[in-house]
Structure 1
C-alpha cells in the first residue's frame, strides 16, 4: 500500500512514522466503519486505534466526519496521544505532506482547539515553526494565511486555554511581516499582510500583557515595521502614552528593554529540520573541517537571496538558545563565533547585514548580570577578537556598529544602553571569557579613532562612570529615526 500522506521519490526510504500510521490503518480498517465495537481497548490497542483514525482523517476526507466521531467516542486521555501524533506529523513530515492532507490537517487542528485537547499548544507551535522567513512560495504563503486565520478564528478559546500560543504567534507574525512588507505588487501577499497586521494589532491593543511576555525582542522586531502605518500608532503609545495599553505596571519602554526574551521564542523562527542541522554543525563538526557542512547548509536553507533574512533568526538562535556545555567549548568543535562570522559573510544585502549585527549585539545593549546570560554576549566579543588580524575588517565593522548602537539606538535612553554595554564588557573580562581587551586596544590595524573611542569607553568601565542622560525633546519621530539609523547603517 503506497503512502497516502506524503510525496516520496522512488529512491527514498520509507519514513518510520508514515509506515506506523499506515500499518495501523491497514490492520484496523474494518473497525473504522460503523457500527463501531463497544469493547474497551487496551493501551496498545488504544494507541493503534488513534494512529489508524488519524490516517483515516487525513487520507479519507470523504469519511473524515465518521472518523472524527469515532475519535470522540473512544478518547480517554483528553486527546493527549492523538495530539502528540499530530505534532510529530508536523515536526517530521510537514514539508512532504500531500496538499490535500495539509488541508485536512488544519481541519482536525481546528477541532482539537475546540475540544481543548491536551497538547494543542505544542501542535500550534509546531505549525508556526514551519512558516519560513524570506519564502514567498505559494505553499509557504498558504501556510501563513491558514495559521493566522485559524488563530484569529479561535481567538477566544486560545485566550482562555492557551494564551502563550497567541504570544508565540505574535512573535512569528511580526517577524514574517518584516519580510512580507518588503514585497509589493503581489495581491495574495497583500491580503496576507493585512491579516497578519490585524492579528498583531489586536494582540497589542487587547492583550498587551501577552506582548510583555516576549521581552526586549518585541522591540527589535517592531522596529522593522516602523514604516507600516498601523504600527506607527503603537510606537507613539509605547514612547509617549504607555498608559493607553491599559496594562498594570507598564510605564515605559525601558521595562521591555530590561526583560530578557525566553529561548522558546528564538526556536520559533527555525524549522525543526534547520535546527537539527544547525545543532549538528555546532556540536559535532570539527573546526577546520566545516566548509562542506556549511556549503550544504547554505544550499539547503539559504539558496535564494530572499532567504538571507533567515540568517537574522539563526544568529539570534545561536546567541540565545544554543549554549554548548563546557565539554564542547573545550573541544575542537567549531565555536559559535566562527559560525556567526561565516553567516555574516553569507549576507549580500546591507539591511540584512545590519539586522544580523543587531541580533548579535542586542543583549549587550541592556545587559544586567543578575538577569542576562553571559553566553548570549560571548559570541560577539570572541568574533571580534578572533578576527584579528586575518579578518580585521570584520572586527572593525562590528566595533563600529556597536558604537553606532550606543550612540543612536535609543537617544532618549542612552544612559541605559551605555550601562548595558559597560556591564557586558565588565562581565566578559571578569568571568574570563577574555583575559583582556588588549587585542583590540593595541591593534595597529584598527582605525585610530575607533581605538581611541574604545579606550575611553573601557576606561569609563574601569572608573565605574555612566554617561549623564542628555534630555532631548521626546517625539516618536526622533526615536524612530534613531532605531532605523542603528539597524540600517553599516
Structure 2
C-alpha cells in the first residue's frame, strides 16, 4: 500500500515550535492577557535551544562567552523546571563555571526581584534548593540573593505561602550558620532585622501549632544572634532597639533586653544611625517601585487614585497595617528626593506620610508609625544624622494647619510623650536629640518659623506652652547640657 509523503510547510513549523514552547514547563503563573516576561522567556528559550547539551555526558571544552551565558540560563531553567534532574544540572553548572557563579547568581537575584510573586510553587521550592547550593560553593553575590529573598517576606501577611517562605529562610540561616558567620556575617544582621520585625507581627496572633513552630524557630534564630554574635546587632544601629522593644512582652526577649541594658552602653547604640539598606529589607521591590513612582512622578492633587490603588494592592487587609511602619522608615531614611523634586509640584514625602497615618485603624500600629516618623529626632546629632530623615515630621506638622489641625496636635502630643517617657533613664539624651533636630531644622531653613505652631490659638495651650519652652531651650547657648526637668 502506497504511503503519501508528508510535507511540513513553514506555517506547520511555526505551529510545532509554538507547541514545543508551550510544552516547556512554565516557571510563572501568567494570565492569558499578560505579555511574556522577558526574563522568563530568555531562560526558557535558552533551555529549548541547548536542551540536548544538558544531558550527560557533558563536553569538557570551555564555551565561548555568549554560549557560556546562555548555558547558565539553560541550566537555571533546567534546575527550576526539572526537579528530578536538578542534581545533574547542578553538577553540570559546577563543571562549566569560570566567573565564580557571578552571572548565575545575578540571574537568581533578578528572578527573585522581578518574578517571585508569580513563580509556580514547585519552582519556589527549587529556588530555595539552588540558593542553598550557591551558599555551599560560596558563590559571588550570594549575599545579594539572600537579601533579595528576605525582601520577599511580607509584613502582616499570614498566608500559607508567606509563612512558608519565613520558615524556609530561617531554616536556611540556621542550617548554614557557620558558613554565613565566616563568609557573610552582615547577611546575618540583615536576617536579624527581618525576623525581629516579622516576629512582632507573628507574636500578636495565635494560630495553629505549625504557626507556633515558626514563631519558635524565628525566636531561636534571633536569640542566637544576640547571644552568640552580639556585635552583629550593633551593625544595625539604633533601630535594633526599636524592634526589640516591640518584643519585650515575649518571655525569651525579656532576658535579652535585660542583658542589653547591663552589658551595653545603650546611649552609644542610640546614637548609631541605622543604614538605609536595612529599611529596604522590609519593602518588597514591587512596593519600592510604586512608592518611588508616587514620590517622583505624581503631581500633588493627582495622587488620590494612585493612593487608592496602592492601599488595595499592599494594605488590603487590617493585618497588613503594620507594613506602614516599615514604609514610614523607608520614606524618611531611604528615599531622599533631589532638590528638583523638592521644589516641583510632585507630591512631597510629608503628604504621603500624612495619608499613610490616616490608613492606620489600630492604636498600637498608629503609635509605632509615629515612633517610626520621629525616631531619628530622639537621638539626632548633626555630624551623624541626615536632616532629610527628620524633615518629613516637621513639614507634616506645619503643612497640616489649619485644615488638618488634629494631625498637628496629635504629632506634637506624641513628640512630647516620647521625650518624657520613651527612656526615662536617658531622658537628657533624648531631649538633646530633639533640641538638636529643631535647631538644625531652623538653621537650615526647612521651616521659615515655628511661629505657625506656637501662636496658633487652635492648638492646645498646653502643647503650645511646652513647645515654646522647648524652643527657648534650643536657643540657649550650651543647650546640649540642659536637663529635661522643665518638661515635667
TM-score interval w.r.t. the shorter chain? over 0.9
Residue of 319, 326, 332 corresponding to 1:306: 319
Q: Matched residues in 1 for 2:210 and 2:389: separation?
A: 38
The Cα shift of 1:436 comes to 1.1
Matched, 1:104 2:126: yes
Q: Matched residues in 2 for 1:462 and 1:112: separation?
A: 57
The Cα shift of 1:189 comes to 1.4
Listed as ranges, the gaps of 5+ residues in structure 2 are: 1-20
Conserved? CA contact 2:376–2:390, under 8 Å? yes
Aligned to 1:273: 286
Aligned to 2:47: 25
The Cα shift of 1:185 comes to 3.4
Q: Map Cα deviations across residues 235-275 of structure 1 (whole Å, 9 max, x no partner).
A: 11111x20xxxxxxxx4111110000000000000000000
The Cα shift of 1:226 comes to 0.3
Q: Matched residues in 2 for 1:344 and 1:20: separation?
A: 42
Q: Matched residues in 2 for 1:95 and 1:439: separation?
A: 47
Residues 316-327 of structure 1 aligned to structure 2 (within 5 Å): 316-327=329-340
Q: Matched residues in 2 for 1:237 and 1:161: separation?
A: 28
Aligned to 1:481: none
Residue of 372, 376, 380 corresponding to 1:359: 372
Q: Map Cα deviations across residues 358-406 of structure 1 (whole Å, 9 max, x no partner).
A: 0000000000000000000000000000001000000000000000000
CA RMSD of aligned residues (A): 0.9
Q: Matched residues in 2 for 1:105 and 1:353: separation?
A: 37
Q: Map Cα deviations across residues 299-319 of structure 1 (whole Å, 9 max, x no partner).
A: 000000001000000000000
Residue of 424, 431, 450 corresponding to 1:437: 450
The Cα shift of 1:186 comes to 2.2
Distance 1:469-1:332 versus aligned 2 partners, 3 A rule? closer
Residues 210-221 of structure 1 aligned to structure 2 (within 5 Å): 210-221=232-243
Matched, 1:229 2:229: no
Matched, 1:467 2:482: yes
Q: Matched residues in 2 for 1:469 and 1:401: separation?
A: 16
Q: TM-score, normalised by structure 2?
A: 0.94
Conserved? CA contact 1:203–1:210, under 8 Å? yes
Matched, 1:285 2:298: yes
Bigger-Rg structure (1/2): 2
Matched, 1:73 2:92: no
Q: Matched residues in 1 for 2:36 and 2:208: separation?
A: 38
Q: Matched residues in 2 for 1:40 and 1:322: separation?
A: 44
Matched, 1:37 2:59: yes
Conserved? CA contact 1:413–1:469, under 8 Å? no
Distance 1:403-1:469 versus aligned 2 partners, 3 A rule? closer
Residues 152-231 of structure 1 aligned to structure 2 (within 5 Å): 152-231=174-253
Residue of 117, 122, 135 corresponding to 1:113: 135
* Relative contact order, higher structure (CA 8 A, sep 6+): 1
Q: Matched residues in 2 for 1:321 and 1:378: separation?
A: 13
